[in-house]
Structure 1
């Protein structure tokens, strides 16, 4: 319990320092601006917002901090410790460099593997008497490094399950001549974490922190082959770091909630598996090499499995001859007030069938904006929705079209939000 309290105390002290508060303010401002663009896209697509920018931003900060607390406690209890000279902080910088190459590589599986491989190469050079002093330059305990990556994925999986569905954007694709509705996800969380650092007598103290000497007898739970407490060490201290973890995906076979839970379970399972497999690093360089190669390959395999399930899965949002299916409903929509949910199908309006959203609005306009809908939910239950629609306003729903002209398609994959908004505006004007 004392160990957990020390971790929590270190995190709270770090969060309250002026430099950290400034950093958090910058990140909050960045997240808020990103979320405002998401809300703007939701409004342009559906005529209303599903979330608010403040809601999206607060969940990214608050849940990220909670995730950081969970990660720090797990790292502390397991006894994942790094030498002060190991440059573990480089994993964050490598992630940033990889993000510039491609956002999908921001994951710690890739940056951790690169840092681990650098450490292995330096150990080999040192073994053959070439290059650097392996005791003081860029060498990390590969087992603890990969356990760190595994724990981060466990927490990421939890965050995705809890919060990954917020801010999703409706998207469409074509398969077998049919238009499928789905969702695009992109979420980031700020995660402060505290890790234990061993201060050697010949090491360099790069941060100000109290040295911890009264560790529990049972600690660490998982011991590295090389002793955690090095001979001649000054002791152990806590170092707080900030990282950003992200989640992005697309689904056409699941609801927003189902996809977030499915992705979260896959990520969490990968984290647990990597934490277990990292124990192979106990077996000298061969074990370390296996683990370092396993991390990115297993991560790619996890993504490939999800992609295959998505490709072979049954589309969830497809309109048919009965009517048009509802893909999204904004908070301000009248359909929300009547308890209509996504996945329901609008069969007709004012007893007239329609094949597109344009035809739907024309029928409402012809009836002086009096709207009488017959709606069928996913279980086949029928419900009548009747209200007077306000002139000049949209219904606040996204309907899955039966067909889309090629010139009306707006691509969103790997495209900047600004470009997407410009394309949508262009389509609306035309």
Structure 2
């Protein structure tokens, strides 16, 4: 209970200290800008944003705080400790810098492995040259990769729970046919309280929120620092801020299924990485192995999910029977009627739907009443009606077209980045406005 209490105090310190509040504010602004772009895309494609930019940002911060607390508690109980001279803070900074080159590099697997590899090279160089000044990084590989594994564990939970939030509908071409899907992007700000072993420090000068007296049974796991040394050392919890991120595109699953699959794979990856990190305490071979495994296996996860998408059966594709519904705008006539993602629209006002233009024609010709025959995902046929329609009101459906009309704003998406997708949409939108 003592460890839990002091870990939560350290997290609370990160949320209330002016210095850390500035960091949180800067990261929050960066996420808000990304979320703003997402809501712009949603409004362009769906007709209205699913959530506001502020809602998306606040939820990312709140969920990140809980995830950071969980990760900190796990690391504290396990005994993942760093020396006070450890450059562990560089990993958090490096991950944020790398994010600007490619969103996937925000993952700590890349920054920790890069810094760990540099540390091993410098350590070996200092041994060969007998120059200890070269060994200025001296990263604790066991503790660092254990920390990365724990962070991936909480990332897997976040993706599983919240990965399907903040999406945009996208389209691509497969075997000459248009298929619909979703681009998913989500980031979480996490405050992490990390245990540090301090030297030559007066305990009375330590902040009460971070000074951590450890019980006799601690730590649960043995690390690279001997238990005897830890028992006699001053241990302090020092908070840092990091960002966890998730990017993916799916055409074979719905949003929730994709998030659950990605979250599950990430959880499995974290457990294997944690096991290898503990083995790294034995010799240099396992240290090299875990440094290589972390980014390589992370890339393998990306390749695996891409392979499953390429080989999988498209979930959202129109057929001769009707037009597929990819997404429904909230608070729209379609939503009030009960039309859902994955429904197949067969008839509108007793007319067979050959393409999406038939739907628009029926709405323009109607006075107020619209009637749809819909085939649900389960195969059940239902009749849905709406009696408050007018030509000025948008139906609120994103269709999966059988073919791309010449003047359509449909954007072809493969493995494009989120920002690239936005630029395509904006360029297309500007072109439409000029006509």
TM-score, normalized by length of structure 2?
Answer: 0.91
Aligned positions of 1:161-172 closer than 5 A: 161-172=160-171
**Structure 2: segments with no counterpart, 5+ residues:** none
Paired residues of 2:171 and 2:412 also in contact (CA < 8 A): no
Cα distance change on mapping 1:200 and 1:363 into 2, 3 Å: same
Deviation at residue 228 of structure 1 after TM alignment: 5.2
Counterpart residue number, 2:12:
12
Counterpart residue number, 1:106:
106
Counterpart residue number, 1:329:
328
Deviation at residue 324 of structure 1 after TM alignment: 0.6
Cα distance change on mapping 1:322 and 1:230 into 2, 3 Å: same
TM-score, normalized by length of structure 1?
Answer: 0.92
Q: 408, 422, 429: which is aligned to 2:426?
A: 422
Cα distance change on mapping 1:313 and 1:56 into 2, 3 Å: same
Cα distance change on mapping 1:399 and 1:407 into 2, 3 Å: closer
SS at match of 2:280: helix
SS at match of 1:403: coil
Deviation at residue 233 of structure 1 after TM alignment: 7.1
Counterpart residue number, 1:222:
221
Cα distance change on mapping 1:303 and 1:244 into 2, 3 Å: same
Counterpart residue number, 2:399:
399
Aligned positions of 1:16-415 closer than 5 A: 16-133=16-133, 137-201=136-200, 209-210=207-208, 212=211, 214-227=213-226, 230=229, 235-387=234-386, 388-405=388-405, 408=408, 409-411=410-412, 413-414=416-417, 415=419
Deviation at residue 290 of structure 1 after TM alignment: 1.2
Paired residues of 1:200 and 1:230 also in contact (CA < 8 A): no
Cα distance change on mapping 1:226 and 1:58 into 2, 3 Å: closer
**Structure 1: segments with no counterpart, 5+ residues:** none
Q: Distance in 2 between matches of 1:422 and 1:305?
A: 31
Deviation at residue 16 of structure 1 after TM alignment: 0.7
Task: Give the RMSD, CA atoms, in angstroms.
Answer: 2.4
Deviation at residue 347 of structure 1 after TM alignment: 0.7
Deviation string, structure 1 residues 349-380 (Cα, Å, up to 9, x no partner) = 11112333333111221233531111111111
SS at match of 2:234: strand
Deviation string, structure 1 residues 241-261 (Cα, Å, up to 9, x no partner) = 000111000000000010011
Q: Distance in 2 between matches of 1:132 and 1:394?
A: 70
SS at match of 1:355: coil
